[in-house]
Amino acid sequence: MLRSLYTALLYVFAPMALAGTALRGLRDPAYRDRLSERLGFTNAVAPASAQRRIWIHAVSVGEVQAAAPLVRALLKKYPQHSFLVTTATPTGAQRVRALFGDSVAAHAYLPYDLPGAVRRFLNRVRPSLAIVMEREIWPNLFGECKHRRIPLLLASARISERSAARHRNFAALFSEALSGNVIVAAQTAHDADRYRAIGARHALVTGNVKFDIETPLAAREAGEQLRLTQLANRPVWVAGSTHDGEEQQVLAAHRLVMAQRPDALLVLVPRHPNRFDAVRSWLKAEQINFAARSRNDSVTVETSVLLVDTLGELMTFYAAADIAFVGGSLIATVGGHNLLEPAVLERPVLVGPHNFNAPDIAQLMLDRGAARQVTSAEQLAAVILELYTNPSTRAEMGAKASAIVAENRGALNRVMDLIEPLLQAPSQIT
């Protein structure tokens, strides 16, 4: 009954969502591409051969990045299989192409959770195994996978207490979705308990595959070269994955830093490409002397901000910098982004107070002294100035951050151990 009501509401709102995506395409043409895939009409058809297919869903850029170690491990272990990666956003699709190129044979957009769209999608892609990253639960999609006896693994699964409470209000709907063929490989014991509370029958703790982030040697080398050629002898800090409402605080902090260190350089990396033009215009209005990465502008002694308005270069600039601030954390609505990216590069990490996307990682890094929390532009500036004057403290924080990553690796192997029997005997989950 509850699932029927859920589906009826989707039929009401799906046309609005499709229209909204089309309208968004007026500003960002990527959103106009492949609109039919939102209704299950994907061109990512499974090969005609007997080759089996592994399907991985990662909703957007962050989840694609988190899935990268798992996808690479699967490609290496199962070269005889074909692979499909789905996302919900064009930026996620772009990240799939940037990370995996032709090694992943197909990309598609996940369809809306309408019964017909889901059936069309599965008829075309015909997966032997579905892997969903982190926290996506779609009752009709999961139900159709169960009907077709397609095993489904929630990898590196997480759910906040607030989200779990909302899900418990619709316990019958989510209990049905998470029963039978679904295995929840949770990040923490708390996550596993919350999934069980909303109906998961098979929930176990495997850890967070984000800790299995690969040391990006190419990014490290590119960052070191960039530092030598353009950023030498300057104090450099990165504000990575920033959002509207946060960039204003970051720039205010940078102005306070420059009052004492006029040679300081801020590398500003907005999270979403569709905001690049707006951020460029805003910096002009603020009368900031900035260089735009997309235009290959040179960074001169007069440049105070380097705007990275390109995709896929955040790790390079973390490697080139002295200090990393990780965005999405100074505003209450986003929940923070990946602290492990600068950590694996041995950079001291600064972060705002809002980290509900990965609270355990944030708390661990704060408790261990690998990260410092700031709540305002003034605090951010003060900590940056403190770290600039204490190179040994920067090095100590960076070493602690890298050690945390090293100590918590292993989730990838535990998830891979779950995948092998699912591919061998997918019908045995009950």
Residue numbers annotated as active site: 63
- At residue 331, what are phi and psi to the nearest 5 degrees? -115, 150
236-242 and 203-205 strand pairing: unpaired
Residue 41: name the closest of 141, 119, 102 by CA.
119
Q: Which residues contact 183 (CB under 8 A, 6 or more apart)?
A: 151, 152, 153, 154, 202, 203, 204, 418, 422, 429
If one counts every other C-beta atom within 10 angstroms of the C-beta of residue 80, the result is 8
Rounded to whole angstroms, what are the CA distances from 408 to 171, 192, 401, 402, 412?
33, 18, 11, 10, 11
Question: What span, in angstroms and rounded, lies between the C-alpha atoms of 392 and 173?
Answer: 54
Q: How far apart are CA 199 and CA 429, in angstroms?
A: 16
Strand segments, DSSP code E, in 173-315 are 182-186, 203-205, 236-242, 265-270, 290-292, 305-307
Residue type, 302: E
Q: How far apart are CA 44 and CA 247, in angstroms?
A: 38
Instruction: Name the token pair of 80.
Output: 């005889």
- Helix or strand or coil: residue 113? coil
- Please tell me the distance from the alpha carbon of residue 51 to that of residue 94, in angstroms, as a whole number: 26
The answer to whether 129 touches 423, Cβ cutoff 8 Å, is yes
Both tokens of 367, joined, read 């408790």
Nearest to 61 by CA among 96, 27, 102, 85: 96
- Contact assessment for residue 355 and residue 340, using Cβ atoms and an 8 Å cutoff: no
Cα–Cα distance measured from residue 102 to residue 80, given in angstroms and rounded to the nearest whole number: 15
Rounded to whole angstroms, how far apart are CA atoms 192 and 201?
Answer: 10
